[in-house]
Each structure stands twice: as structure tokens, then as C-alpha cells.
Amino acid sequence: MQHLIRTSDFSKEEILDIFADAREFLKSKPNEILKGKIIVTLFFENSTRTRSSFEIAAKRLGAEVVSLDVGTSSASKGETIYDTVANINAMKPDAIVVRHSECGLPESLKGFVGCPIINAGDGRHSHPTQALLDLFTISEHYNGETEGKKIAIVGDVRNSRVAGSNRRLLPRFGIEVNLVAPDCFKYESDDFKQYNNIREIIDELDIIMSLRSQLERHNLTYFESLNEYAKDYCITNELVGDRDIILLHPGPVNRNIDISDEMLKDPRTKVLTQVTNGVAIRAAILKKLILNKI
Amino acid sequence: MQHLIRTSDFSKEEILDIFADAREFLKSKPNEILKGKIIVTLFFENSTRTRSSFEIAAKRLGAEVVSLDVGTSSASKGETIYDTVANINAMKPDAIVVRHSECGLPESLKGFVGCPIINAGDGRHSHPTQALLDLFTISEHYNGETEGKKIAIVGDVRNSRVAGSNRRLLPRFGIEVNLVAPDCFKYESDDFKQYNNIREIIDELDIIMSLRSQLERHNLTYFESLNEYAKDYCITNELVGDRDIILLHPGPVNRNIDISDEMLKDPRTKVLTQVTNGVAIRAAILKKLILNKI
Amino acid sequence: MQHLIRTSDFSKEEILDIFADAREFLKSKPNEILKGKIIVTLFFENSTRTRSSFEIAAKRLGAEVVSLDVGTSSASKGETIYDTVANINAMKPDAIVVRHSECGLPESLKGFVGCPIINAGDGRHSHPTQALLDLFTISEHYNGETEGKKIAIVGDVRNSRVAGSNRRLLPRFGIEVNLVAPDCFKYESDDFKQYNNIREIIDELDIIMSLRSQLERHNLTYFESLNEYAKDYCITNELVGDRDIILLHPGPVNRNIDISDEMLKDPRTKVLTQVTNGVAIRAAILKKLILNKI
């Protein structure tokens, strides 16, 4: 039985198979591949958009979804997460999708279940389905020719789990990862080229991935104001010019902080394509993990 | 592609077709007309009864429903409603049902979606599915002979979106609309006959539509007490007598304020019939908008 | 039409039929026995685990579930529970599952509905599906030979609805019920042998049912601390020794208060088996009540 805790749980070949399925799902009508399967979503951290992406993905394949709002019940009765998960597992679901603010939590649940765990985000660590949909979006744009492409991941690269997962995944497909962040958000590692300002590297880039400035998560006091931050890190038409670059963002976008209004309307901006691809990629992952299990 | 923002989005002929479908749905077992379709309910204003009416309607036709509790997530991340809706739309649902406290909000979403928008109530403006189920209830009672019937809409006609939608819809089917309200709730218009007291007109009526005294919405201070209000506006057996009148109310009823306990048990009171009809009408509307789209 | 308000609503023969169905559901794949049926869960008292057990049970039989979070909407609009239920009933669901903190509430709803009511817990009174899954777990362990078995129900037997339902159900299947509780939690009745300390009777027992010390419900001040309580009432390996006893608990377990960590891992502890059986029993009950209705 296979889990998806981090992107390295899948080989390159497996990822390409997932992409092939996702491509198919984007073209075809809903089907019943997962008819009779029950998928539990267990979000200890609220995320309407990721949860509904999984829910729609599951339903497009004919599966049933049980959404457990875990903040409010068992937890308040003093039960540990491990007991909660062991209980849910005893109800014999076919997969459990978990989101939690603590790094490593989904990994630690593997011993308590008899079905695949899918990590829908754990702390600053990983968000593997997001990284896979990002890579898929890039790969589709370049007709699978990702080798040698250069990306800059821009923003809070230290705390972002989206950055974390992409940093590990993209190089496996030949994409050179560059990190662009103010000092306070720098990622402490020598594995990547790091820049303070995107202008230093923009001429070499094929892809920009803007990150969400996560105000609600870090209670920033680094900048006098978000507008200060935006001056250097907001992706605008003026910055991108007429370069042949595509722009990604995991959403939700802080308008005019992460990306300008005008740039959001630019056809090079793939934010909504990522959302569409996200449903297809999650459907392909659910199919793989649930059907392989049997 | 067609939306339902207000009842005028449908021609008389289209409405009669919807009624024919609803009549059929009331008689027949659940079917799979909308199998594989995904309907998102997006309620910015809580309403268990309207949301569950849509949910049951959708499920009776074999569709899947994704309920997004929008108050709690993206909104708190500072995303605009337009971005939230554009994102949901990118997940390719087959219809989006929206309820919002702001007049005109559902209309303004049309440019952001590729699927039908169904207005489940916007501010004081419209509640088109409610008006259609009200008309259907009246029409079924009179075997389709609505021409020349007289209705009094009683209560807070100024602020009620139910009144708003019915005021516009019923005259199209030959029903004469009279408004009965205290001065503070009067509708500012000369298009309708208005009365302070229902006794002035009750002898002419075929239908009374009592409105909900919406304490939670307007924080009324007009009346010394609700009992003061009830004295003139509560529909009682004593008031109705043995007249051949049917009584409607959109629910939930404030007992003995809007309608007396005794009158609620009277067979002329159609409140629960309206609820049953509401599921059938919403199913017929979902069928029309989703299948026409393809 | 049949409801399940308390276990005495079913004859012994009916219960054995339910067990036969549950046994079959545990072995077989999901089916479509309840395809096209709509089950409403109406929890006035939050319980993620009971609600999701019903939801998964329903979905395993192909039914649709509409979960109404009743605390937040209609209730806040001043509607009575009876009006809420009459309204839901007017939407023509095939069963309504109700949980409420008030004893007798589900019983009192019977006059307002045209479909089966299933009691998912009412105050201190009953929790019939829990007692049935407990009996099923015992019966499966002893291959149906329950006659003459002895159980001790341990803990807050006065306030527990699980104890209430089991106290009435188990003797019908020949199981001798003993109650073990501190004075403050004693059940006021002479119908059962009661003990202060489980050591007085443990040598005679086949089954121990530990109850949840419901801190959140009773705001206990009887004991200086929970550890005080645990000294006498926590089920440990040291207490059970190598006796041929099985241990049940309705969950969630307060670790090292109700049952020790070590004992929870012991194969004689059936807590997770109860959870698995719970889904199957609830499926069998839904099947019986909904299909019999037609």
C-alpha cells in the first residue's frame, strides 16, 4: 500500500502516469472508476479550496466523500489525533486526506491506518499535491519539455510548504530552481541559488512561482507595511515585460501584494489553470492510491 | 447559457415547463437525470433550510453537491468574492447556487463563471426560487387557473426579498398583488395597492402570503413589542374565518407573531406544501439550467 | 412504519436479522440497496464519530446523506425543534437520524414525520445503535452464545445513555448485567447487582464495558482529580490479568483514566472492533427501517 506524504513517494515514472491520467480526466466526462469507495477528508487546518478540490476530484470519479471537521468534536473531548485516526480507519475508508499545521504529522499516521494517507499540507513541510499540480501545469505548457527550464520561487520561501515541495520535485524533472526572497524569508541552505531581487535573474527565467504572503500564518512585522514588501516582490506587467515567462501562484492571491491586478489578467498567468489542473491531478492520485491498494 | 438571478430570467413558457417537471418529480422516484453533475452551494449567508432544499433537490436527480461554507475560509484570507467564485468555477462545477446579503451580488458574478448561477437570495432584492415555488403552490391549488386571483402579501414588504420576487412574478400570471404593512414596512411605490390592515381587503382575497417578521435582520424598534405587531398582522382563524383563502409563508414561521398556532394546523395553510414543492421546483430549475447548458 | 428510539423497538428476532445483515455487510463490498434514498442527520449535539459512522453506513448502501448542522441556523431564528423537523420531513427524506441532549426528544418527534426516526443518542436515556453494536460485538466474539455471560458496566452508570441502553438490551440475550460505580455515579435501582469496586466481581466476568468519564458533560467535582477516579476504575492489564475477558468501551477513550495505554493494545480490548461493527450495524438498521417502510 502506498501513501502520498511527499512527492518523493512517487517515482518519475509514476508521476508521468499520474499526468497521463490527469490529462485524460481534463478531457473526459465524470466516470465511476472509484464507485463504492469512501474518502475521508480530515482537515485539522481549515482550507476550503484544497478540501473542495479533493472533494470534487473524488466525486468526478464516483467516490463518496465524508468531510470531518475535526477542530470541533473529538479533539475537544481530549482524544489524541492518533486515536481519532485509528477510529476513522476502523470505519474502513478507502483513503484519508489529512491537513495539519504540524510538520510530519501525516507521516506519523501511517502506522495507524490500513488505507492510503494523502498529505494535503503539513506545516511548513510539504504540500505534495500542490507541487504535482504545479509541475503538471508547467509540463503541459511546455508539452512535457521541462528539462533545462528555469524557475524562480518568489516570496516567503522559508515558511512555504508549497516552496518546500516544489524545491524537491522540480529538479527531478530537470527544472532549475532559484529562490527569491528578502533576508527574513530566506531558506537556509546552499542547495539553491538565492536572490534578494527578482530583477537579478528575471532575464534567465521561464517560470515565476509567486508565493502567498501568509499574513495570517506568521504575523509579519518584518516590513513596515505589505506595500513595502510588494514594491520588491509583487509580480507586475512592468516587471515581466514581454518576456516569455509563465506565472504560477498556489492561491489565494493577495492582489497587488503577490501579483498585480493587471498581471492576473495576463494570459501568461496560470493561476486558474492550476486550479483546474489541481482537480484532475488529485483525481489521478486518488485513483492510483486507491486502486493500487486492492 | 442561462442563469437564474431573478424570475424575469424565465419566460412564462419556461416557467410552465418547470412546473410540469416539478409536478412530475413530486410523483416519481429519484432519478439520474443529473448523474455526474457537480453543484456547488456557496452560502455567504447561512440558511439551513434553503441550502438543504437545494441539496435534496440535486441529490434526487443524481447530482453531487459540494457545500462551501464560505464565511470561514478564503474570506478570512482576504480574498474577494469574485476571486473565490473564479476559483470555484475553475474546478468546473455544473452550477453554482449563491446566497448573499448584498443586493445584486449574484448578478455581478455572471462574468466570472462558465456555468449557471442560481440566486438563492440576495439582500432585500430577490429570492427567485422561493417566488417560483410560491407561484407553483398557488397554481397547483387552483389547477393552473391563476388569472384574476387576488393575493395580499402581509408584513415587512419593504425589506423582504420574498415579497420582492413575488411582487414581480405573480402579476405575470394574472394575480393581483396587494401589499399590507405598517407604515414603517411600506414599499415605496405606487405600483401596488397598499393597506395598513388586512381587514380592509380580506373579503376580496384568494391568497394571503404572510412574511416572516425578520427580527434578526432589522433589529426592529418600530413596535413596542412583537405582540403589538402581531395584533394587526398575525394571521389567525378569527381573522380568516370560513373564507375560501389559502395561506402561504416562506418559513420559518414566527408562531403567533406571523401566523397563529391554530391557523398553522388549518388545511388552508400551505406552509409545509410549499416546502415539499420547493424541493421539486429547485430540482426542475437545476435540470433546466444544467441540461440546457450542454 | 418503524422507528428506532430504544432497543425494545426491535424484537429479539429482528435484532438477530439485523446481526445477520451486519455480518454480511462486514464481508461484502459496498452495494446499492439504498440507492436513491436520502438520509438526513440532525445532530443537535455534536458527535463527529457517531455522525460519520451513520454517514459511512448510509453511503456503503448507496444512500445519500444530508447533514444538517442544526445548532447554527433555524434554531437561532427562534424555530422550535418540532417545526424544524416538520419542515425537514416535508422535504421527504427516507429517514432522519437525531441526536439531542434531552431525554425523550426523538420519541416526541414521531408525530411530526412520515419516515423512520433513528435515535443517535438522547440525553442520559438511550443510545440504541451503540447498545446494538455492543451486543453484536459480544455475540460475534462468543459465536452467538451470549446466554449466561456476565458483564460489568464500569464508570458513570448513572448518567451514561450507553449504560442505559445496554442495561435494558443485554439481559434480553441472557447476559447478566452488573454495575460498578462510585457512590456518586450509582444507578438508583435494585434491578442490578451493584459494586463499588470491580475487584469484588472480576473473577466471575466474561465482559467488561468501561464507560467514558464524561468530564465535558458533568463538570465533575466528585473526585479530587481524574487520577483519583482512575485508581479504582481504570481498566489495566494488572487488573484484568490473564482472565478470559473481553473489554468494550463506546469511545472516545480517556487514556489511562478509563483504560490504560497497555490494555488498549491488548487483543482482548475490542474498542476498534466496536467501531467497525458500528458501521455495519447502522447500515443494517438503515436498511431494515427504510426498506420496511415501503
A2 in a structural domain: no
Name the nearest CA neighbour of B246 among B213, B209, B274: B209
Chain B residues within 8 angstroms (CB to CB) of chain C: 29-30, 46-49, 52-53, 55-56, 59-60, 215-216, 251-255, 272-273, 275-276, 278-279
CATH of the domain at B154: 3.40.50.1370
Residue C218: pLDDT band by 50, 70, 90 thresholds?
low
For the stretch C48-77, what's the b/e string if a residue is b when 16 or more beta carbons lie within 10 angstroms of its beta carbon?
A: bbbbbbbbbbbbbbbbbbbbbbbeebbeeb
- C241 CA to chain B: closest CA distance, Å? 50
CB contact (8 A) between residue C68 and residue B48 = yes
pLDDT of B28 > 80? The answer is yes
Q: Which residues of A touch C60 (CB under 8 A)?
A: 36, 38
> What is the separation of C-alpha A241 from the centre of its chain, rounded to a whole number of angstroms?
27
In this complex, the chains that touch C, judged by 3 or more CB pairs closer than 8 A, are A, B
Overall domain count for chain C = 2
- C30 CA to chain A: closest CA distance, Å? 5
CA–CA dist B188, A24 (Å, integer): 56
User: H helices of chain A, where?
Assistant: 12-27, 48-60, 81-90, 105-108, 128-141, 161-169, 215-218, 226-233, 237-240, 261-265, 271-293
Active-site annotation holder among A3, A6, A41, A50: A50
- A6 CA to chain C: closest CA distance, Å? 28
Range of the domain at B29: 7-127+275-293
Q: Is A218 a catalytic residue?
A: no
Residues B139 and B211 in one domain: yes
Within 13 Å of residue A88, how many CA atoms lie on the same side as its CB?
Answer: 31
The closest CB to that of B53, out of C83, C84, C91, belongs to: C91
Strand arrangement of the beta sheet that strand A193-195 belongs to: A193-195, A176-180, A150-154, A207-210, A246-248
Q: Which residues pair with B180 in a beta bridge?
A: B154, B195
Grid cell listed for A4: 502520498
Mean pLDDT (whole number) for B231-259: 96
Residue of chain C minimizing CA distance to B59: C64
Judged on CB neighbours under 10 Å (0-12, 13-18, 19+), B186 is middle
Active-site annotation holder among C35, C49, C110, C243: C49
Mean pLDDT (whole number) for C216-240: 79
The secondary structure of residue B228, as a DSSP letter, is H
C274 is in an annotated binding site: no
Mean pLDDT (whole number) for B228-256: 95
Which amino acid type is present at position A164? G
Q: Which residues of B touch A53 (CB under 8 A)?
A: 91
Cell 407573531 locates to B257
Q: Is C99 a catalytic residue?
A: yes
- C134 CA to chain A: closest CA distance, Å? 15
The secondary structure of residue B155, as a DSSP letter, is S
Active-site annotation holder among C41, C50, C129, C146: C50
CB contact (8 A) between residue C68 and residue B53 = no
Residues B186 and B132 in one domain: yes
In chain C, the largest separation of any two C-alpha atoms, in whole Å, equals: 57
Which of B83, B85, B87 is most worth mutating to test chain A (most A CB atoms within 10 A of its CB)? B87
A77 is in an annotated binding site: yes
Grid cell listed for B134: 410560491
pLDDT of B291 > 90? The answer is yes
Within 13 Å of residue B11, how many CA atoms lie on the same side as its CB?
Answer: 3
Residue C101: pLDDT band by 50, 70, 90 thresholds?
very high
CB contact (8 A) between residue A91 and residue C275 = yes
Residues A252 and A153 in one domain: yes
CB contact (8 A) between residue B87 and residue A272 = yes
CB contact (8 A) between residue A90 and residue C272 = yes
Angle between helix axes A81-90 and C271-293 (nearest 10 degrees) is 50
In this complex, the chains that touch A, judged by 3 or more CB pairs closer than 8 A, are B, C
C161 is in an annotated binding site: yes
For the stretch A10-22, what's the b/e string if a residue is b when 16 or more beta carbons lie within 10 angstroms of its beta carbon?
A: beeeebeebbebb
Give kind and range of the element (H or E) at residue A210: strand A207-210
Active-site annotation holder among A6, A51, A99, A141: A99
Which pLDDT tens digit goes with each residue over C70-98? 764 445 566 889 999 999 999 999 999 99
| Per-residue model confidence (pLDDT) at position B222 | 63
In chain A, the largest separation of any two C-alpha atoms, in whole Å, equals: 57
B102 in a structural domain: yes
- C26 CA to chain B: closest CA distance, Å? 26
Which amino acid type is present at position C15? I
C50 is in an annotated binding site: yes
Contact between A59 and B64 (Cβ < 8 Å): yes
C139 in a structural domain: yes
CB contact (8 A) between residue C59 and residue A66 = yes
Within 13 Å of residue B90, how many CA atoms lie on the same side as its CB?
Answer: 20
More reliable by pLDDT, A291 or B222: A291
C1 in a structural domain: no
Residues C224 and C279 in one domain: no
Residues B181 and B282 in one domain: no
In this structure, the dihedral spanned by the alpha carbons of residues B128, B235, B247 and B199, taken in order and rounded to 10 degrees, is -100
Question: How many C-beta atoms surround the C-beta of residue A189 within 10 A?
Answer: 11
Question: How many C-beta atoms surround the C-beta of residue A238 within 10 A?
Answer: 10
Rounded to the nearest integer, the mean pLDDT of chain B is 93
Residues A187 and A98 in one domain: no
Q: What is the ipTM of this complex?
A: 0.94
Residues B145 and B201 in one domain: yes
CB contact (8 A) between residue A68 and residue C48 = yes
CA–CA dist A57, A129 (Å, integer): 12
Residues B13 and B119 in one domain: yes
Residues B262 and B234 in one domain: yes
Which amino acid type is present at position C78? G
- A74 CA to chain C: closest CA distance, Å? 7
Q: Mapping DSSP to helix (H, G, I), strand (E, B) and coil, where does residue C224 land?
A: coil
Residues sharing a CB contact under 8 Å with residue B260, sequence separation 6 or more, in sequence order: B234, B235, B236, B237
For the stretch B225-257, what's the b/e string if a residue is b when 16 or more beta carbons lie within 10 angstroms of its beta carbon?
A: ebeebbebbbbebebbeeeebbbbbbbbbbbbb
Show the 3-state SS of A38-88. Answer: EEEEEECCCCHHHHHHHHHHHHHCCCEEEEEECCCCHHHHCCCHHHHHHHH
pLDDT in tens, chain A (294 residues): 999 999 999 999 999 999 999 999 999 999 999 999 999 999 998 888 999 999 999 999 999 999 987 764 445 566 889 999 999 999 999 999 999 999 999 999 999 999 999 999 999 999 999 999 999 999 999 999 999 999 999 999 999 999 999 999 999 999 999 999 999 899 988 899 999 999 999 999 999 999 998 765 554 566 667 788 899 999 999 999 999 999 999 999 999 999 999 999 999 999 999 999 999 999 999 999 999 875
Cell 468526478 locates to A60
Residue of chain B minimizing CA distance to A32: B36
CB contact (8 A) between residue A87 and residue C49 = yes
Residue C220: pLDDT band by 50, 70, 90 thresholds?
low
Which pLDDT tens digit goes with each residue over C183-199? 989 998 889 999 999 99
> What is the separation of C-alpha B239 from the centre of its chain, rounded to a whole number of angstroms?
25
B99 is in an annotated binding site: yes
- C235 CA to chain A: closest CA distance, Å? 18
Residue of chain A minimizing CA distance to C253: A79
CA–CA dist C119, C97 (Å, integer): 6
Between chain A and chain B, how many beta carbons pairs sit less than 8 Å apart?
A: 62
Contact between B254 and B212 (Cβ < 8 Å): yes
Residues C101 and C132 in one domain: no
In this complex, the chains that touch B, judged by 3 or more CB pairs closer than 8 A, are A, C
The closest CB to that of A253, out of B64, B76, B83, belongs to: B83
The closest CB to that of A91, out of C30, C253, C276, belongs to: C276
B1 in a structural domain: no
More reliable by pLDDT, C43 or C78: C43
Residues A118 and A163 in one domain: no
Cell 455534536 locates to C46
Mean pLDDT (whole number) for B104-128: 96
Q: Which residues of B touch C92 (CB under 8 A)?
A: 56, 276, 279
Residue of chain A minimizing CA distance to B70: A48
A1 in a structural domain: no
Judged on CB neighbours under 10 Å (0-12, 13-18, 19+), A195 is middle
Within 13 Å of residue C69, how many CA atoms lie on the same side as its CB?
Answer: 13
Within 13 Å of residue B125, how many CA atoms lie on the same side as its CB?
Answer: 17
C2 in a structural domain: no
Rounded to the nearest integer, the mean pLDDT of chain C is 93
B93 in a structural domain: yes
The closest CB to that of B275, out of C70, C79, C91, belongs to: C91
Active-site annotation holder among A12, A27, A29, A77: A77
Report the percentage of chain B scoring pLDDT > 90: 85
Name the nearest CA neighbour of B254 among B197, B198, B209, B214: B214
Residue B227: pLDDT band by 50, 70, 90 thresholds?
confident
Q: Which residues of B touch A64 (CB under 8 A)?
A: none
Residues A227 and A287 in one domain: no
Contact between B21 and B284 (Cβ < 8 Å): yes
CA–CA dist A56, B93 (Å, integer): 8
